[in-house]
Structure 1
Amino acid sequence: MVKRIIALLLLGLMAQSGSVLAALTASVDTTSVGPGEPVQLSVRSDREVSGEPDFSVLEKNFEVLDRSQSQNISIINGAMSRETAWNLTLMPRAGGEQTIPSISLAGEHTRPIKIKVSDTRTKPAAGSGDSIFIETRWDKPSAMVNEQRILTIRLYRAMDTGSSSLTEPQSDNAIIRKLAKDRVYETERNGRRYKVNERRYAVFPQSPGDLVISPVQFQGRVPSARRRQSPYSMFDDFGIDMDAFMGRGKPVRVWSPSMRLQVSDIPAGVDPDKWLPARDVQLMQRWEPTQPDFKAGEPVTRVISMLVDGQPVDQLPDLNLPLPAGIKHYPDKPVVNEQVTEDGIIAIREMRDVLVPEKNGVYHLPPVSVQWWDTQAGKMRTTKIDEQTITVSGAPASAAKSNPSATTQPTPQAATDRPVVSPADKAAASALQPSSAETGVTRGRNLWPWLSLLFALLWLVTLGIWWRTKRGAAGRPVQKSPDVEVSEKQTWQALLRSLQGGNAAEIETALVRWFDSRYPGRSISSIGHVTALLDAEQDAALIDELRKLERYRYRDDSSGVYQPRALKPLIEQWRKKQKKRKQQQPPESGLKPLYQSS
């Protein structure tokens, strides 16, 4: 009996000692992996524990892609045992020998495990039979500072990868812009079919030397080698990888090779501030109206457009637009546009300047030029608009107002409140004058009282007529001509119809005609004239939309349908505002004075 009790105690102590020694263990599925291949780590505890191990120690050398936990309870010969397992998918952050450090839980520790990771530089060449690989290619092997180079990156996949991602190229010494959308197609390499995703980038080096762009990384999941144990293996016969679709399968990462480009400095003797490498540079000029008749005091809009093939808009230089004395100008904020194609970036800047000649004469507008480096010919070029000569004729509008004709303006009344005597009154007065034969001191004295009475009567008559005219003018508000009113309503309805139709050319024509009907004396013939009439602050949104319409008309592909969704409510709001402002103004009483008294 005593021996039996001693044996049981020894077995219990051995079991307890074994469980302590094997309380927390760690193991991996392999100790040697290739670049982009993960490691499966399993941490197990055969004791009942609370919490979980401290896995933060793994983050220095590994990235945790996936983590799961499971428990297993078994009863053997009436004895119950419990096991808890943590399964982690680790991706090495670098090549060479990496160490999975000791992991602790409740005072227990696992042993470190060493993993050998093949360096990415020893990876077989792309296209040698890999299921997934990345190729990179430059359009040219070298470039100059700020010159556009096209980088093409192609991802080849011979299998489904489920949800996957491809990082973007990055560099601290270059501006990198993605071009257009990805191209997706299929091709064959070494008798194997691949699905290809192709991306193109415009790269602008910012400093001379060896430009290095960090490798891009592909991340996805591929079917596991133990496919038949998958619960979704029944879909394999239909060509559907449900493991990848459900986020299962083996995670995989692939890196591209390093991308290098030799960059040359700006040529000697070239001003860095004027350095503009491009494939083509164009300067274009147009006027609004198209063939302007320059008159003193009347505005004409000058539009200069600069097109640069091979640069983004933020790299375009400022143009110097000098003007001769005697011409005032009111420049608008430049409008920029960028066209992104598979072959690179084209930047466009449009500068609008309203010119107002102050007086008649011949004016010479200096040439406008821009220097640039021709990347195809390898030399400096100058693109320019030649000197423009304009002839200004016609009386200034301000002169007509400040020097009115005596036949069109009322004669100011004298400061003594005496009535203005008309020529008829003067004739009547002269008819009553005595002849020289009858002139005498005595008779002259007798006529003066009668003449005074006559002039007094004439003064009263003139005063009465003036009072009736003044009263009638004050009682009647100035009405617009019926023809003008009907014309404004008709052109407004035509504008609404054109806005509903969506044709940009018809909208522009109807818009100009409507504004011209509202301002009959302004000779409005273009959108530039319309924007000059609007308030730059209060009507900023409307001005911006009108310029969008104008830019659309200026484009080569203006045959498409213009969408005036924003223009219609803005123009309706402006018309209502103008009507309300007119109703709030007091009625006019006759002509406004030429000069306001202080």
Structure 2
Amino acid sequence: MIGKNMQKLLLIFLLLALNNITYAAVTATVDRTHIVIGETFNLTITVDDNTSAQPDLSELQQVFRVLGTSQSSSTNIINGKYSVEKSWQISLMPLAVGNNTIPPIKLGNQTTRPIQITIAKSDPNTKANGDIFIEITADKNSAFVKEQIIVTVKLFYSISLSEGNLSEPIAKNAIVTQLDKGSTYRTQRDGKTYEVIERHYAIFAEKSGKLELNPIIFNGRDNTSRRNFSMFSTGKPIRAVSKPLAFDIKPIPQQSIGKDWLPATKVQISQKWSKPPYTVGEPITRTIILYIEGLSETQIPDIDLGEIKDIRIYPEQPQTQTEATAQTLKTWKQVKLALIPTQAGAIRIPEYQLQWYNTKTNQIEHTKLPPMTLPVDAGDFAMDIPKIDNPFKQPETTNSATIADMNQPTPTTEVQIVEKTNVLWKVSTGIFALLWLITMIFYLKKPNKKAKTTTSKPVKISKRQIVAAIDNQDLSQLQKNLIKWWNQQYPNKQATNLAAIKTWLNPQMQQLINDVELQLYNPDKKHRFNQQQWLKQIKGKGLEIVQQKKTLDTKRLPELYQ
């Protein structure tokens, strides 16, 4: 019997030990997923362990030509924790055109995940252009304001370079973001072998019209033609310049002026709720995640749900994350909100809708969170309020006497004591009521003085700076000054754009802001800047908040682009 029990215990300990074993994580990545036949690319296998095992490349060799393998390792000590990372870099060349798969590669007891790649035919029109040259291409030659343009830069060289510097794309009124660190591979042009450095960039135009990219320039030194092997010789200077690129940038469509402008290839929104039951006064956590392909995290709008009846909303600081690939930018924005119900019953959460422009289909689309109803219990708020005896009323002794008789006799002098204390209580209550009234009078007077001091408190951006921008007819500066002044003056109504401000203002100011937005986003079209009306509104009461009826517009997000 004891022997069987010991066997069971040993089996349990063995299972627990196996459960706690952690295998080294093995990953596989490639420097490019779109490759032209005849080009090479690099596969990197990484394991977070100093293993003696080697990757099994037998299945890989059936699909690709393995040109070479190199191995490296690194040791890290972070906060006293010791870790080792080992990696293998494998140079590959595809054998056929089409969609292909890098199979799972076994390393010890672990295997990597398969990777999909695309092998394209070589362009017969591409020609070699000497020993060193630069090619620059784009995925489109026309785009909207704020739409992503992917630019690819390739440096070809068949000579030995001792040093060099490759410039980045530069354009006026545009944001340029490098998407990757670049990849290095080999290719053939006109029977000649070239080393290639390839980089990808995302470009976002901020103004309509013609957008011109400066030529890409490479400056380096050629060691191939050195006549001596002196250690002081650095080779002759060499230079390569690409052709310039130009794009036709279209203005934001008329129907999207004053709304969030989101030109993207993909937009998704999802949400998570904390588990019920929900109770009045207790927070409900709502997590909303917005995912966009084709925009950076600075271009994602705020997620503003507006007001919800019978619920107070307390948002946390949003969290953003951006992943850059050679093909696009991928961005996530997560917002957590604490929703506190103030009433019991069925509380309806309205639909949330975000409008965006699909750059693949060239159509306006909407992504939505559907409406839902939350069942909210009263909880502690439904408990009966305990009854408090009225000190001014004679106590009813009928029921209390009956209960008292069951336990112990009640002294008859207690009634007389209550009668005496009632007089004192009345006097003390009257005194306290008088003191409370005096306190309330002083309290009501105090906020008026406080309000005067807060309104007269100086701010960093004054109305004079707004007036100066109007006098100079500098619309861009006017936009910046208005937003800064608004956020300082109304900290509870923070805005990132003019559209979020105008909803609180009078109709005249709303029209003036609409005209400025048209001029900012459609500079090719002539719109008159009403300088006189702007000065009248700013110097008057144009920036004072006007109470308005709630409409569906309060659910819209503030305008993204300033």
| TM-score, normalisation: structure 1 | 0.44
| TM-score (normalised: structure 2) | 0.47
